[in-house]
Every structure is written in C-alpha cells, then in structure tokens.
C-alpha cells in the first residue's frame, strides 16, 4: 500500500499563543486504511486536520515546521483549492457547515468547484444521498429542519459526492443523540465497506473506534502518545486514561480479567463463552432493583403540556418529581422534549397546561429573581451565557443584581471558584478561556446563586471522557450539599455511573423514571432507543442474572478462576 | 421553501404562477415601484402608485391582511407626518386652521409657535403617507415572493462571482443565527434572575449592550468555523461556479411583467413633464 498521509516532525503554533498546538508529530496513514485519531480536548486533533487540508499553514497564520504530504501533495506548496479536490472534511457541528437553504444546494455547493456537468452533478447527488441512507425526497428540504443524524449524514453526503480519495471525519457523532449516532455510524460503516477510500476519523468514543478502525493514534498535548492497531493501543489501559482516552468496556474487562486485550464487543463475548466454565459469577454483589427518591420534594411537574408559538406541542402531559440530594439524568432522543421540560421546570417557559410546583408553590407565583435563586439553568453552549469582562464579574453578576453586600459576594465567589477549579483565573477575560473552563465558569455562575435545583443542559458535548468524568463527579458532589442536579445528556454510560435516577423523555412524555439500572432493564430503554453500556449487554448475552452498568461493576461480579 | 417574509412573519405569496417567475422579474417589479415613488409628487400619482402596488400584491397572491400587522406603525407614522407639516413647519397656502401654542416677547420682536394647517401642508402630508403605503406594499411584494435561495441562484444566473453568491447565502444564514443566539442569550440572562419586563429602560439598554459581548464572541467563533468549513470544501472568495447546474430562463410571463414595470417607470418619469 502507498501512503495517503505522511507527517514528519510537525510543529505548529497559532499566532498569539505561547505554546505549540502540535509538537513534533510523526504519522503515516496508508491508502485505503481506516485510521482513527483520539485524544483529550485541546490535544491538537482538529489542528492536525487543518494541517492535512493545507488550511494550516496556507490560510491560518502561525509558526509551521516539518513536512506534510497528503496523497503525494505537499500541503505547504500545493494550493488548498487543489488539495480539497481530493480531500474532503466533515466537521463536528453540521449546522456550521451548512451555507445554503436546501439539501440540494448544499450538495451542489460542494460539487461546484469541480467543474462537473449538470448530469454528472445530478448523478452524484443521488449517489451521495443513497450512500448515507437518504433519498431524493431530502433534496428540497432545509438542512436546518433535519434531525441531528440526518444533518450529519447530509454533511457526509456532500463530502462523499465529491468522491475524495481521503475523507476526514472530525467527531461526526459528538453532537448527536443515540439514534443520530447509530444512523451516522451505519453510514460510516457503509463508506468503509463499499468505497475504496482512505478514512481518518476523529472520535472520543473508543467503542466506535475499536469497531471501525484499522489503526488508531492517540494525541496528547500536541504529541502522538500511541499509535497502532486498536487492540495494541487499548491494551495500554492506564496510560491511555492519563491522556484522557478511555478504552472501551470490552478492553477494560478483558485486560482486568487477564485475557489478551480484546476491544471489540463480539470478540470479547466469544472469548468469555470459550472460558465460560472458568467464569465465577457473584451476581449478588449488585442489586437488580434499587430504591430512589427519599429527599425533600423540590419540584413537581403535573401533566405539563407546552406548545411553542408556532403551534408545535413539545410536551404532552409530562410529569416529574425532583427531590433534594438527587442527580437526575434526562435522556432520550432529540426533539423528545427534554430541554423543553427542563425549561418548564426552571420557569423559563410557562406551561400551556398542567402545573409546576417549586417548593410547593406554583412557578407563576414567583418573581424571576426569586425563582432563579431556587432553580437555575445552565445552557449547553457557555458562550450563550457569559457576557461579563472578567471571570470574577461573571460569577458575581447574579449576586450583584440581588443587591448582596460586597463581603457576601466576595465569599460566595471565592467558594464557587474553588468548587469549579477556577482559582487564579478571576481577572481573566472569559473570551480567552478554554472550552472546558468556559463550561465550568457557566456552572460556577449558576452555583454561586446557591440554587436548590441546578439544571445543566448537555454539559458533555464535544468534551473528552476525562473532563466528563470530572464534571459528573463534581455534579454528584453538589447533590451531597442537599441540592438536586438535573442534567440533560446523551451519555448513558456517564448517566448510569453517576445519576441516581434516569428519566426517559420521548414524544413529550416521561416514559420511564427510576434507578438507571432498572430503567435500562425496562422496555422503555428500547423505546427511548438508549444505547445500553457494553457491560450490561455482555452480562445479558452471557445469561447473567445481574445487570452491571459499567466495566467496573462487571468486574465486581465476574472473576476468572 | 419559505420566502423571506414567510420565515419572518409567516406571510407569503400564494400564486404559484407569480412564484415561478424568474427571480430577476420578481425583484424588478417591486424595484420599479420603488423608483416610481421618487416621481409620485402629488396625491393622485401617489394614490395610483399605492393602488398599483396593492394590485400587484393581490395578483401575486400576497394576502393584504398581512398589512394589518403594520397598522399601528402606519397610523402612528401618518400622524407624525401630519404633525410634521402642521406643528413644526409652516407650509405656505390657504390656512384651514391655526392656533398659537406659544408666544414670547423677545428683543427683536415676538416669537410664536403655531399649529398651522394649510391646504398645501395637507396635500404634502397626504402624498407622503401614500408614498409610504406604496413603499410598504412593494417591500411586502418583494419579501413575500422571493426566497433567500432565489436571491443566491438568481445572482449566480446573472454571473455574479460565486464567492459573492455564497456570501449572500451566508448573510441570510447569519441573520437567522444572530436572531436565534440573541434570544438564547436573553433567556440565559433571565435564567440568572434578570427580569426584562420589570427592569427600567436604562438598565434594559445596558443589559442588551452586555448581550452584545457573547453575540460578538459567537459571531467571531462561527465566522472562523464557517470559513474553515468553506475552505475545506474548496470554496474561497475567488472561486468560480463551473458547472452551470442552475440556469434560469426568462419566459413570456417574465417579459410581460418586465414590460409593465418599465412602462410604469416611464409613465411616472414623464407624467407632467410633457406638455
């Protein structure tokens, strides 16, 4: 096989930054290979992609050193417009990539620079859409009205229709719900199986990488920390965790059981089947059904309906009780009503029917200032929430509009800075914080108000597992102070591990509510199309009576004699 | 595909025949009304122009009930126009009504501020009101019959550089994103206790100024991301559309509408100039 990508001694520093984003990267990708790149947030993954397309250093100013060749072209001397005729990129946020107002125009836009005939364009539109599982009926639709999975598949179709020799997918599933993820993964599988194309996939979810990739590289602090077949890379279990990469449950289980490292689910099942007589199961170590809900009732929603101004009925009789000391995870497909329900709970939306009680009083009876001190909402994108000139001012804003004394403000801000690890950044302009720091700042600005209920909307999107684990343990710690934390999330693994309750919202209704284990075992898990943790699927397939929700729990109940 | 007014206010043309006209025609007809407005200098000309604009809206299937939404604006604007020609300026002519509001003895005589209604002043006011009507109707006609897609592909068919066409499309996308971000930021402020309804005007203004910070930050981030996404698709400011995938052809209906538009402009330019 000849090389599709060859990177030697690559160093890159953005203008105005003191540190290099890439520090001596050496990498080779063979033609036809499915190559995955993993790493913590800020490791340099997206920067590397921009280098591979020539946008760095040709369009973005900075210091460049090293040699990069893509499909035999030097990305320094060959113009970007020539490189992009043979290389296509799909970015993380499909909405940002959409420029035109219909799917047809969006696809045509990608093909315009290639100078194809009208007939050829028509043929490629059809082919591209079919390849990602969409049909011609999508051509006239607005990309913004599609579901998350459909949007990302349109973005992939627009890239693939150009018939690139190298396709780069930058975290294509990170913004999606489980259904959208599955749709996009099916499309990627099809690309891998049917096209003779080199694919580079940047992904946080090791389970997908293990299933799809021929080889994987782990980037850490701008360097290649590990590279090789998934089986080899994921065997470096503890080392990977220090780089913010969490191997799939299958790798963790096989590694800890002393088997050869196995990273694909099916392989692990077969391996465990073959040693079934040596497996010792302590099913009683984890209960199958657990009790929930003993704290004080803080919020109660009764048969709530909500109709948006355009007439869309987002909630159709949703009921929910939130108690103190609980971490509640709202899960379910996009468009199911999770965010609307959370906004109704926080009083941002007034229910069209039904009632919402906060500490026993109807939300309508509270003024905004009082209600937001009791129930506070943290937005998915911290950029929507941060508007002050320094971290200190941002955190203290809510306290100042409540007219608290300077001494109290200082004390509360100091505590919030400590809890969310922002100490030392008080005078920093929020604009210059990292994504993770901005997210923590948004949380601190809500926490400082000392709310009884803190609602956090999809805090893990686009973040690495190390950050997500630390964030969830932070949220869990807040519940020990007696407050309730409600989080909207697509990460069933994190929700199962940290949440006290899993609430499945679908079609404007709460279809399941209970301990994560019991919800995942109920039919509602399939109805809500939740992707169950590998450990739970494995236990079920092996016929175990216990239902572990994580690799750690699986290893607690299963030992190899 | 919703038109611009359809997206903003849910009002759009219902005539499929008009909507199928070439985008240049759909832009040219309201434009001809806008040009004629400059020459509508008396109430008769202005009234005919307003009627013609209304007629065009009806013919294009634009529901005139949409104008109801702007009734308050139109009424208050009309009142201001009448006041402007009676309270703040004296238009020479036959005085119909006059009352002195303020009279002050100064060193060099008496300063008087009067409410003075003259026949010429009333004629001017009426002309202005009718011209504004014509403007609102022609703008409604344009916005209720043209989609942002029309604009972009219309520009392409007119051989405007590809980069400029993509920029136009981005402008429309930017407007949508700006509006949605603004509402989210406003809501995020409310989530922290800001009550816009009970806040004084001055404080509200300051809060909106504050909202500009995240809006600006989001605009910068998004512009950067969009430009990277476009570059990675091989689209740069100097790119050319090489395929000719979209070609628009003028048809008989287009020529007829354009002929009417040109005639309208000629009539208004020449009206009163030829003895």
Per-residue pLDDT of A436-456, as tens digits, reads: 888 899 999 999 999 999 999
pLDDT score at A371: 93
Average pLDDT in the A387-400 region? Answer: 92
Query: Is B107 near chain A, with CB under 8 Å?
Result: no
Closest partner residue to B226 (CB to CB) among A96, A376, A446 is A96
Q: Residue B201: which H helix or E strand, with range?
A: helix B201-231
The region of weakest confidence among A348-362, A488-502, B65-79, B187-201 is B65-79
Q: Is B103 exposed, middle or buried (0-12, 13-18, 19+ CB in 10 A)?
A: exposed
* A372 close contact with B: CB closer than 8 A: yes
To which residue do tokens 């981005």 refer? Answer: B170
- B183–chain A Cβ distance below 8 A for any pair: no
Q: Which of A65-74, B105-114, B202-211 has the largest mean confidence?
A: A65-74
CB contacts < 8 A, A to B, total: 165
pLDDT band at B221; cut points 50, 70, 90:
confident
pLDDT tens digits, B63-85: 877 677 677 777 888 888 888 87
pLDDT digits (tens, 9 = 90+) for A123-161: 999 999 988 888 888 888 888 778 778 888 899 999 999
Which of these, A41, A90, A173, lies nearest to A438 by C-alpha position? A41
pLDDT of residue B169: 81
Residues 6 or more apart from B165 whose CB is under 8 A from it? B152, B153, B155, B156, B241
Contact assessment for residue A464 and residue A497, using Cβ atoms and an 8 Å cutoff:
no
Q: At what angle do helices A148-160 and A178-194 cross, to 10 degrees?
A: 20
Provide, rounded to the nearest whole percent, the portion of chain B with pLDDT above 70.
93
Q: Cα separation of A376 and A397, whole Å?
A: 14
Top pLDDT among A212 and A310 is at A212
Any A CB within 8 A of B98 CB: no
Average pLDDT over residues A73-90: 92
Round to the nearest angstrom and report the end-to-end CA distance of chain B.
Answer: 49
* Residue numbers of A between 336 and 355 with CB closer than 8 Å to B: 346, 348
Average pLDDT value for residue range B107-133: 85
Q: What angle do CA A255, A261, A263 make, to 5 degrees?
A: 105
Name chain A contacts of B185, Cβ cutoff 8 Å.
384-385, 387
Contact B5, B11 (CB under 8 A): yes
Q: Where are the domains of chain B?
A: 1-146+246-275, 160-240
A546: preceding bond cis by omega (within 30 degrees):
no
Does B52 reach chain A within 8 Å, measured CB to CB? no
Average pLDDT, stretch B224-240?
80
Query: B184 to chain A: which residues are within 8 Å by CB?
Result: 379, 381, 384
Q: How confident is the model at residue A405 (pLDDT cuts 50, 70, 90)?
A: very high
Interface test with B, best of A59, A383, A391, A435 (most B CBs within 10 A): A383
For residues B51 and B128, give the distance between their C-alpha atoms in angstroms, rounded to a whole number.
15
Q: Where are the beta strands (DSSP E) in chain B?
A: 95-106, 109-118
Q: What is the pLDDT of residue A318?
A: 95
Looking at the partner chain, which of B191, B210, B240 has a beta carbon nearest the beta carbon of A376?
A: B191
pLDDT at residue A443 in the model:
92
A434 touches chain B (CB under 8 A): no
CB-nearest partner of B210 from A108, A379, A387: A387
- Residue A534 CA, chain-centre distance (Å), reads 17
Q: What is the tens place of the pLDDT at every residue in B168-209?
A: 888 888 887 888 888 889 999 998 888 887 778 888 888 888
Q: Test B235 with A113 for CB contact under 8 angstroms.
A: yes
Mean pLDDT of chain A: 89
E strand or H helix that includes residue A220: strand A215-220
Torsion, Cα of A380, A381, A382, A388 (10° steps): -130
Query: Given this model, what pLDDT does residue A55 score?
Result: 93
pLDDT at A465 over 80: yes
Distance CA(B40)–CA(A174), nearest Å, equals: 59
Contact B191 A348 (CB under 8 A): yes
Helix (H, G, I), strand (E, B) or coil at A249: helix
Distance CA(A310)–CA(A307), nearest Å, equals 8
pLDDT at A63: 95
Whether the CB of A100 is below 8 Å from some CB of chain B: the reply is yes
Contact A387 B222 (CB under 8 A): no
Shortest CA gap B222–chain A (Å): 7
Mean pLDDT across B31-46: 92
In the structure, what pLDDT confidence band is assigned to residue B237 with cuts at 50, 70 and 90? confident
How much is the average pLDDT of B42-54?
A: 93
**Mean of pLDDT values over A265-272:** 90
Which range, of A305-319, B2-16, B27-41, B210-224, averages the lowest pLDDT?
A: B2-16
Q: How far is B234 from chain A (nearest CA, A)?
A: 5
Instruction: Check if the beta carbon of residue A234 is closer than 8 Å to that of residue A504.
Output: no
Task: Look up the ipTM and state it.
Answer: 0.79
Mean pLDDT of B261-265: 94
Distance between CA atoms of A294 and A501, rounded to whole angstroms?
12
Q: Is A98 within 8 Å of chain B by CB?
A: yes
- CA-wise closest residue to A297 among A244, A245, A360, A341: A360
Chain B CB contacts of A367 under 8 Å are 195, 198
Checking if the pLDDT of B28 tops 80, the result is yes
Quick one: average pLDDT of A540-551? Answer: 88
Which residue in B has a C-alpha nearest to residue A125's C-alpha?
Answer: B245
B83-105 average pLDDT score: 80
Does B239 touch chain A if contact means CB atoms closer than 8 Å?
Answer: yes
Q: Which residue in A has a C-alpha nearest to residue B174's C-alpha?
A: A99
Chain B hits for A385, CB-CB cut-off 8 Å, are 185, 188, 191-192, 214
Residue A51's pLDDT band, with cuts at 50, 70 and 90, is very high
Q: Once rounded to an integer, what is the mean pLDDT over residues A100-126?
A: 87
CB-CB neighbors (< 8 A) of B240 in chain A: 113
Q: Is the pLDDT of residue A1 over 60?
A: no
pLDDT at A361: 94
State whether A101 and B147 contact (CB < 8 Å): yes
Which residue in this structure is represented by tokens 């022609």? B138
3-state secondary structure of A210: helix
Chain B residues 146-165 with CB within 8 Å of chain A: 147-149, 152-153, 162
At A544 the pLDDT is 86
Is the per-residue pLDDT at A241 higher than 70? yes
Report the pLDDT averaged over residues A461-487: 89
The region that residue A423 occupies, defined by phi over 0 for left and psi between -120 and 50 for alpha, beta otherwise, is beta
In terms of C-beta distances under 8 Å and separation of at least 24 residues, what long-range contacts does A338-342 make, across chains too? A338/A488, A338/A505, A339/A457, A339/A488, A340/A306, A340/A314, A340/A315, A340/A508, A341/A301, A341/A304, A341/A315, A341/A505, A341/A510, A342/A377, A342/A455, A342/A457, A342/A486, A342/A488
């Amino acid at each position: 096989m000849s090389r599709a990508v060859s990177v030697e001694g690559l160093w890159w520093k953005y203008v105005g930054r003191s540190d290099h984003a890439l520090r001596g990267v050496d990498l080779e990708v063979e033609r036809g290979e499915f190559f995955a790149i993993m790493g913590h947030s800020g490791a340099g993954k997206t920067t590397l992609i921009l280098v591979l397309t020539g946008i760095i250093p040709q369009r973005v100013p900075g210091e460049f050193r090293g040699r990069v060749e893509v499909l035999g072209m030097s990305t320094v001397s060959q113009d970007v417009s020539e490189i992009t005729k043979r290389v296509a990129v799909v970015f993380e946020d499909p909405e940002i990539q959409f420029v035109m107002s219909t799917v047809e125009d969006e696809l045509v836009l990608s093909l315009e620079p290639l100078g194809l005939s009208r007939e050829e364009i028509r043929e490629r539109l059809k082919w591209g859409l079919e390849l990602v599982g969409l049909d011609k009926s999508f051509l006239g639709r607005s990309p913004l009205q599609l579901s998350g999975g459909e949007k990302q598949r349109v973005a992939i179709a627009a890239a693939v229709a150009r018939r690139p020799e190298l396709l780069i997918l930058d975290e294509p599933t990170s913004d999606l719900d489980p259904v959208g993820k599955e749709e996009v993964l099916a499309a990627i599988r099809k690309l891998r199986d049917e096209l003779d194309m080199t694919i580079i996939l940047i992904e946080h979810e090791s389970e997908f990488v293990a299933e799809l990739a021929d080889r994987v590289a782990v980037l850490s602090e701008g360097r290649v920390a590990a590279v090789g077949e998934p089986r080899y890379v994921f065997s470096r279990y503890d080392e990977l965790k220090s780089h913010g990469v969490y191997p799939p449950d299958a790798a963790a289980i096989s590694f800890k059981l002393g088997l050869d490292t196995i990273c694909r689910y099916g392989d692990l099942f077969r391996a465990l089947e073959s040693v079934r007589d040596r497996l010792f199961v302590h099913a009683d170590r984890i209960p199958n059904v657990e009790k929930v809900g003993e704290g004080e009732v803080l919020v109660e929603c009764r048969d709530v309906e909500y109709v948006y101004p355009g007439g869309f009925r987002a909630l159709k009789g949703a009921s929910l009780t939130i108690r103190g000391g609980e971490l509640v995870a709202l899960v379910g497909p996009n468009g199911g009503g999770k965010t609307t329900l959370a906004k109704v709970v926080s009083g941002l939306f007034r229910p069209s029917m039904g009632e919402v009680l906060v500490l026993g009083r109807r939300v309508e009876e509270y003024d905004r200032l009082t209600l937001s001190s009791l129930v506070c909402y943290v937005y998915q994108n911290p950029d929507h929430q941060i508007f002050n000139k320094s971290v200190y001012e941002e955190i203290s804003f809510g306290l100042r509009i409540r007219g608290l004394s300077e001494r109290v403000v200082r004390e509360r801000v100091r505590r919030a800075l400590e809890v969310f690890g922002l100490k030392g950044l008080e005078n920093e302009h929020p604009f210059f914080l990292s994504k993770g720091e901005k997210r923590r700042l948004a949380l601190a600005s809500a926490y400082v108000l000392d709310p009884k209920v803190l609602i956090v909307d999809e805090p893990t999107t686009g973040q690495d597992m190390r950050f997500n684990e630390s964030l969830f343990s932070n949220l869990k710690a807040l519940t020990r102070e007696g407050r309730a934390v409600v989080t909207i999330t697509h990460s069933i693994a994190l929700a199962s591990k940290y949440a006290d309750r899993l609430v499945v919202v679908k079609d404007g209704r709460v279809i399941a509510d209970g301990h994560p284990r019991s919800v995942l075992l109920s039919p509602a898990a399939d109805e809500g199309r939740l992707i169950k943790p590998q450990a739970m699927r494995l236990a079920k397939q092996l016929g175990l009576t216990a239902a572990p929700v994580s690799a750690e729990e699986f290893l607690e109940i299963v030992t190899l004699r | 595909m919703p038109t611009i007014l359809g997206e903003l206010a849910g009002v759009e043309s219902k005539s499929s025949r008009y909507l199928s006209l070439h985008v240049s025609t759909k832009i040219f007809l309201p434009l001809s009304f806008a040009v004629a407005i400059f020459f509508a200098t008396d109430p008769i000309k202005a009234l005919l122009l307003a009627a013609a604009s209304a007629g065009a809206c009806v013919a294009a299937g634009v529901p005139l009930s949409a104008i109801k939404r702007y009734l308050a604006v139109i009424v208050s604007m009309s009142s201001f126009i009448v006041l402007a020609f009676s309270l703040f300026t004296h238009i020479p002519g036959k005085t119909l009504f006059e009352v002195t509001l303020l009279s002050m003895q100064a060193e060099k005589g008496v300063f008087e501020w009067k409410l003075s209604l003259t026949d010429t002043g009333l004629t001017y006011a009426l002309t202005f009101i009718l011209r504004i009507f014509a403007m609102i109707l022609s703008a409604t006609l344009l916005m209720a019959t043209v989609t942002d897609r029309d604009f972009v592909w219309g520009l392409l068919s007119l051989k405007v550089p590809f980069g400029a066409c993509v920029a136009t499309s981005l402008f429309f996308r930017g407007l949508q994103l700006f509006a949605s971000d603004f509402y989210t930021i406003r809501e995020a402020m409310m989530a922290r206790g800001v009550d816009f309804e009970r806040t004084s005007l001055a404080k509200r203004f300051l809060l909106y100024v504050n909202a500009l910070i995240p809006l600006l930050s989001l605009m910068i981030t998004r512009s950067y991301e969009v430009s990277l996404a476009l570059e990675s698709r091989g689209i740069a400011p100097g790119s050319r559309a090489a395929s000719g995938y979209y070609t628009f052809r003028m048809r008989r209906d287009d020529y007829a509408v354009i002929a009417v538009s040109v005639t309208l402009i000629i009539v208004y330019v020449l009206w009163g100039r030829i003895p």
